[in-house]
Amino acid sequence: MTTAPPSPIDQFEEVKQCYTEQEIALIDRAYAFASAAHKGQLRMSGTPHIYHCLEVAIILTELRMDSASICAGLLHDVLEDTDIAYETMKAEFPSPIPELVEGVTKISTLRFRSAREEQVENLRKMILAMAIDIRVIIIKLSDRLHNMRTLQYLPLDKQLSISRDTLDIYAQLANRLGMTRIRSELEDLAMSYLHSEAYQEITQNVARKKAQREVLIQRSIAYLRDHMERHDISATIQGRSKHFYSIFQKMQKQHLSFDEIYDLSALRIVTETLEQCYDILGLVHSVWRPIPGRFKDYIALPKENMYQSIHTTVVGLGGEVTEIQIRTSDMHKVAEEGIAAHWLYKEGRTQEEEIDQKLLWLRQLTEWIKDIRDPSDFLNALKEDVFADIVFCFSPKGDVVELPKDSTPIDFAYHIHTEIGEHCIGARVNKKYVPLRYTLHNGDMVEIITSKTGHPSQDWLDIVKTSRARNKIRHYFKSKNYEADIQQGKDLLWKATRAKNLTITQAELPDRLAPHLRAFRANSFEELLAEIGFGSIIAGQVVAKLTPEPQKPEPAKPSRAQRRSTPGVVIAGVQDPLVRFAGCCSPIPGDPIVGFVTRGRGVSIHKEECASLRHLIVQSSQDKSRLIPTQWDVNQPTYSKVLVKVVSRDRTGLLKDLTSVISSMNLMILGSHSKSYSQKGQAILKFQILVENANQINDLLNRLKNVNGVISLTRTLRHNY
């Protein structure tokens, strides 16, 4: 007969003292609330249920979690086990306490030993709950830890199924989150039920050898301490023993008996600075011979769960193989508590740093799921199904968005809000600009760029994956504005046609303009009208297409790339934007640039520092929302026409020499013109050349400068628009 566990009330009263007075008031309120709610409820052990809540809260204080987590720990079973509704709790406690409790409750109700589809659905729900607030899983792990500590009071079948879930899911999670201490305890407890014979054998063996090992460890510590003092290095040296389950795993994997396991115990050296870690490593290797292939520097290359430490194995005192870990005290905290150590409230941490921290762990979480590879792993099979259909993405604030697989930033934007979707003009994923047709991946942090003048485009309908986005886009095009834009566009176009005195009837316009739709990036005549009406295309430009142009001799056909319709800039991910380069500052590829949304003339590209641009913003009395982040498209070569004017001493062979320099750089000459001024003995030559970037121009000018006779060089840069 096992005796009931002692009351944790006194211990709780003591540990809560490390919180502020205000926080303690809230904690006390949560305690009183939970106490009243669970009144009369007993655990299987015969103790009041509230003791369990207190124990969970105590584990959370040991992890130094924030006061909201402590309160949620106290309240974690209220929604599940009492009549109290979520709304009641929401009225009673400030955010995020009710949300945390709800998250924990959701996970608690998941059954992992169920039909396949349900398992998948449950894992998905768990990930989602954790992703919304990672504290949820820390509270859940603390709850599970206390349940495992008191598992002996439950019937055998419960003991086994709970232990299996603990080993397969919760210990794995704790491991991935770097919570080593909790993971080891969960594994050892689960093992004692699932593999009770092996557990007995190992614990007895460890105990049998303990005395002998202790002596050796104490001697080793004294020996090392002596050496470190001589070198003026201060550090704490501790003996460390492997947890039982890891010994068990090693015996099984490598088919070893207990006596064949030599690294049962090890030393851990904790010091203050990173430099000291390496000093200590040097010292250790100078007194004890290291075993080749056993050295690992997780300080320089941290593990994915943030674990940092130096590992080495040496032939220690008395020829004993000894494992040694060296780390700083900060690294030690992370090694033991993992994510919980990171969650620690740090004074002076900015909101941005908080979010970065959160995103880091969220990404960890999705990475973890992706990384599960062990085919024997229970979760392995599940994750395939979970991620077959969905992706989890995050907003810059760390909010979670669950979308169907292959979704795009447009789907994301519409998911957040219809307004965001409708004014979306671009997106950044993980802080990099991406096209709107980009396929989102698990763990992507998605930032939507909007503009007041932005609006949906017909081709979005081919890109989006969610029915929500598709319906909203369809609705937009059906909406009043769109109809009004078409009407307005029709009027404007007709006015412009008459202004040019063209002999075209209104009915002929669709056919006559059909060949030119592409030039305006319109999918239909109707869309062209809507764009004109909206103001992103001016009617005059469209009508100009119908006016016969004077035939000019075509210069040598430039390459395909040059005839591309994209101008070599990426405007915050907008596909094929209508772009022109501002004449005021003539940006050169490589210059920092920015786009300015004009009314009716698409986007004009300015240098970031352009003075007229600043003037424009003020003049148009618009806020900065008309500015769009714009970058040179590094993936596609940018072709620009440059006019180079060469003043040279006139001589025979001059033209040939200059052109051979240009073509030696594989640059295309689109046209040239030369004139000689015999009274000065000089010639002026002009070349129109296609170049990719500013570097190429500079390179070219440097080479031309060296051509015999060249006096001066000037260039103007004109884009092919």
Binding residues for Mn ion (CB under 5 A): 77, 143
Nearer to Mn ion, 74 or 284 (CB): 74
CB of 83 to Mn ion, least distance (A): 17
Question: Rounded to whole angstroms, how far apart are CA atoms 412 and 447?
Answer: 9
CB of 108 to Mn ion, least distance (A): 7
**Residue 546: C-alpha distances to residues 294, 503, 509, 578 (Å):** 78, 10, 9, 20
- Please count the CA atoms within 13 angstroms of the CA of 83 that sit on its side-chain side: 2
Q: Smallest Cα–Cα separation from 152: which of 7, 44, 6, 42?
A: 44
CB of 52 to Mn ion, least distance (A): 6
Sheet arrangement for strand 424-429: 432-434, 424-429, 446-450
Question: Rounded to whole angstroms, how far apart are CA atoms 489 and 50?
Answer: 70
Q: Smallest Cα–Cα separation from 104: which of 148, 138, 71?
A: 138
CB of 77 to Mn ion, least distance (A): 5
Nearer to Mn ion, 170 or 482 (CB): 170
405: which residues sit within 8 A by CB, 6+ positions away?
387, 388, 389, 390, 391, 465
Q: Which residue in the shown chain puts its C-beta closest to Mn ion?
A: 143
- The residue assigned the tokens 């989890």 is 392
CB of 324 to Mn ion, least distance (A): 39
- Return the C-alpha torsion angle 661, 662, 667, 671, nearest 10: -160
Instruction: Say how many Å lie between the first and final Cα of the chain, rounded.
Output: 89
> Which token pair is 150?
């008191």
> Could you tell me how far CA 296 lies from the centroid of its own chain?
28
Residues 450 and 425: beta-carbon distance below 8 Å: yes
Catalytic residue at 80? yes
Nearer to Mn ion, 148 or 570 (CB): 148
- The residue assigned the tokens 């130096």 is 310
Q: How many CB atoms lie within 10 A of CB 574?
A: 25
Residues 81 and 112: beta-carbon distance below 8 Å: no
Nearer to Mn ion, 75 or 670 (CB): 75
Nearer to Mn ion, 109 or 716 (CB): 109
CB of 421 to Mn ion, least distance (A): 41
Question: Rounded to whole angstroms, how far apart are CA atoms 391 and 18?
Answer: 40
DSSP codes joined into one string, 68-90: HHHHHHHHTTHHHHSS--HHHHH
Nearer to Mn ion, 78 or 528 (CB): 78
> Which token pair is 87?
């709304």
CB of 37 to Mn ion, least distance (A): 13
Q: How many CB atoms lie within 10 A of CB 453?
A: 18
CB of 458 to Mn ion, least distance (A): 53
Residues 356 and 397: beta-carbon distance below 8 Å: no
600: which residues sit within 8 A by CB, 6+ positions away?
535, 536, 537, 538
Catalytic residue at 81? yes
CB of 81 to Mn ion, least distance (A): 8
Position 186, amino acid: L
Question: Rounded to whole angstroms, how far apart are CA atoms 630 and 541?
Answer: 24
674: which residues sit within 8 A by CB, 6+ positions away?
655, 683, 684, 685, 686
Nearer to Mn ion, 77 or 102 (CB): 77
Nearer to Mn ion, 143 or 411 (CB): 143
Question: Rounded to whole angstroms, how far apart are CA atoms 671 and 641?
Answer: 10
CB of 130 to Mn ion, least distance (A): 17
Sheet arrangement for strand 569-571: 569-571, 627-632, 593-597, 603-607, 579-581
CB of 51 to Mn ion, least distance (A): 11
Q: Smallest Cα–Cα separation from 410: which of 442, 443, 386, 434?
A: 434
Q: Smallest Cα–Cα separation from 8: which of 45, 47, 66, 63?
A: 47
Catalytic residue (choose from 13, 14, 80, 275): 80
CB of 140 to Mn ion, least distance (A): 9
- The residue assigned the tokens 């002929």 is 508
Catalytic residue (choose from 23, 81, 121, 263): 81
Question: Rounded to whole angstroms, how far apart are CA atoms 642 and 665?
Answer: 15
Nearer to Mn ion, 141 or 668 (CB): 141
Nearer to Mn ion, 111 or 673 (CB): 111
Question: Rounded to whole angstroms, how far apart are CA atoms 166 and 692?
Answer: 60
DSSP codes joined into one string, 459-481: THHHH---HHHHHHHHHHHHSHH
Q: Quick one: CA dihedral 154, 159, 165, 166, positive or negative? A: positive
> Which token pair is 68?
């909201």
Residues 641 and 716: beta-carbon distance below 8 Å: no
Nearer to Mn ion, 56 or 605 (CB): 56
Nearer to Mn ion, 145 or 700 (CB): 145
> Could you tell me how far CA 540 lies from the centroid of its own chain?
45
Residue numbers annotated as active site? 80-81
